[in-house]
Amino acid sequence: MKNYLKEKGLKGLIFSFSCTFLGFILLILDAFLWVNNVLMDDIYQEPKKTSDIFIIGIDDKSLEALGPYNTWTREYYAKVLDNLTSTKAPTVIAFDILFTGESDLENDAKLCDSAQNSPSTIVCASNLIFGDVVDNTSFTLKSTVKGVSYPYSSLNEVVKTGYANALLDSSDGLVRKIIPVMEFDNNIYESFSYSIYKEYNKKIGKDYTKYKNNDIFRINYSANPQESYTVLSFSDIYNGFVPDDIEDAIVLIGAYCAGMQDSYYTPINRGVLNYGVEVHANIIDSYLKNNIISDVPNIIIIIIGIIILFVLAFIIYKSKFILASILTIFVIVSLIIIQIILYKNYYYFPIFGLIILIILEYIAYIAIKYGEELISRYKTINLFKKYVAPQVVDKALKASDYKVNVGGVRRHIAVLFVDIRGFTPLSESLEPEEVVAILNEYLTLTTKSIFEVGGTLDKFIGDATMAIFNAPFDLEDYPYKAVKAAWLIAKGSEDIDKISYEKFGRHVSFGIGVNLGYAVVGNIGSNARIDYTAIGDTVNTAARLEANAKAGEILISDTLYEEIKTRIKAEFYGELQLKGKAQPVKTYKVIGLVNE
C-alpha cells in the first residue's frame, strides 16, 4: 500500500510539474493576451452619463458650413474660443489639434490673444517624437523622446500642453492603455488628458491624483461615448450657439469626421472607429471618477497561476473523476469571484488565460486517466488470457451485456483434471531448478491444449491443473472438446517425458480425469478474495477420476462417454468406488479420437 501511494504521489508530482511548467511558459509569453483583451474589454465597459465633459466636433456639418479644413485659419478657433467664454465660461477648454508652426501672423495672434485673455484654462495638444517605436506589447518604454511638437511659440507660452500620442496595442491595434506621465532622460511629459484633468482640479480648488512616472493604466471606456458626452458641432459654436450648461465644464475640441484622420479602434463596438476626442473624454472621465484601471502586476499573476496549476494538478491527479471535476469547477468559480471583486475595485486581473490553462490541465488529467485505464485494461486482458482461451476473452470484450456477478450460477459443464504422476519423489530426486523446468513445460502443455479447444483454465493446484468447458460462455460441443484437450495433453506428455529423461534421467507422465454434469460456476470466495471456479459433485468426480488414473491414462465417466462415444475410441475401465460416492462409477479409458 505504501509503495502504491508512493508511486501515485510521484506520478502526481510529475503531472503537476509538467502542467505547471507548460502554464508558466504560456503565462510568461502572455499566450492568451488576445483572449484576455477581448473578454476583459467587454467587462470594463459601463454606461456613463456625465455633464462635466462636452465635445465640440469638427464634423461634416462644420466643413460644409466653413469650407474645407485645410482652408481654415486660426481665427476660426479664436472666434469659437471667444464665443465659449463670452458669458458663462467652461473651466477648461482643450484643443485636440496640433497648432504646430506659424501660419499667418495676424490670425495666429488672434488665437494667442483669445487664449491669453480667456477666463478658462486652455490646454493644447503636443506630439512626442520617439527615437524608436514604443514596445506596445508590454508598453514598456525602451526608447527615448527624440523631440516634441509643441504649439507655435507665442501660443505655447500662454497655454498648457500635453502629449496626445495614442498607444496602440500590438496584439490588435486597439487603444486601451494610457501613460498619464512619461519620463525620458529626466524630462517629464504629461499626457493631454492628464493635463486637462490636473488643470481642471487646480481651477476648482480640488486635489488631483499624482500618478507615478511611466505608470500604465487601462482606459475605462463608456459603453457608448456618443450617449455619455454632449457632442456639439464646431460650426454651431462658431455661429454663436453656446448651451447654458457648458459653464464650469470641460470642453474638448477636435476632429469628428473621418476625413480628418484622427480616429482609432477601441474596445467599444469592435470594428467601429472612435474619434480622438472621444478617447480623451473617456480618459478624463476616469480620472475625475477615480476609476481608472490598474493592472495586477504580471509577476503576481504568474505566481498565482503557478501555485494554482501545481496544487490543483497534484490534487486532481490523486482524486476520483467526480472529486477532480468538483475541485476544477470550484477553482474556476473562485477565480471568477476574485475577478468580480477586483473589477469593482478597478483592477485588471486577466483570469481567462489562467482558466483556459486550468481547463487544459483538467483535459490532460482526463486523457492521462483514460490512458492509464486503457493500459490497465490491456494488462488485465493479457493476464485474463493466461487463464481463459483468447477467443473467450475476445467474446467477453465484445459482449455488451456480459457481467461478472459475485456468486455462482448452475451450468452444465465438462471438467478436466490433470496431474503429474509421482511428482513428490520426482521433486525430491532433482534440483529445484530442474523441477521448475519440468513443471513449466507441463503447465505450458496443459494451458496450450485447454486454450486450443476454447476451454477455461480454472487454476493450478500445485502440480495439478483444473479446467472447465462451457463457462463463463457457452462453448459448442464442449463434452468432446474437453476430451480432445485431455488427448492433446496426453500426446504432448510423450515429448515432455522424452526431454525430461534426456536432461535429468527421470520419466514424467500424467494422469487425467474428465467428467460431465452440472456444477455451480462463478465468483466464489470472501470479501477479501474471490476466485472464478466451479464447485459441486461433477467437479469432485472429475478429481477422483484423475486420482485413479495411472500414468498416461485418461479416465472419463460413463455420463461423458454416453455423450460422445461415437466420436472417441475408449474401452471400459471398470466400476470404481470413488471417495465420497455411495455407488460405484462406471469409467472408461480413452485410447484415441475417431477422426485423429
Using omega within 30 degrees of 0 as the cis cutoff, is the peptide bond preceding 243 cis? no
Query: Could you report the per-residue pLDDT of 538-556, keeping only the tens digit for each?
Result: 999 999 999 999 998 999 9
pLDDT number for residue 163: 94
Orientation angle between helical segments 298-317 and 321-344, nearest 10 degrees: 160
Orientation angle between helical segments 276-289 and 192-203, nearest 10 degrees: 50
Higher pLDDT, 164 or 145: 164
All 3 cell numbers of residue 288?
475625475
For 432-436, which contacts have Cβ atoms below 8 Å and span 24 or more sequence positions? 434/503, 434/504
CA distance 291 to 86: 34
pLDDT number for residue 135: 55
- Who's near 427: CB < 8 A, 6+ residues apart? 435
Confidence category of residue 520, pLDDT binned at 50, 70, 90: very high
CA distance 183 to 187: 5
Q: Is the dihedral of CA 379, 383, 388, 389 positive or negative?
A: positive
Confidence category of residue 487, pLDDT binned at 50, 70, 90: very high
pLDDT number for residue 398: 65
List of domains in the chain: 2-31+296-381 (no CATH), 48-290 (no CATH), 403-593 (3.30.70.1230)
Query: Across residues 224-240, what is the average pLDDT?
Result: 86
Query: Across residues 8-37, what is the average pLDDT?
Result: 59
* Closest C-alpha to 452, from 432, 472, 467: 467
1, pLDDT greater than 50: no
Query: Across residues 509-526, what is the average pLDDT?
Result: 89
Query: Across residues 188-214, what is the average pLDDT?
Result: 93
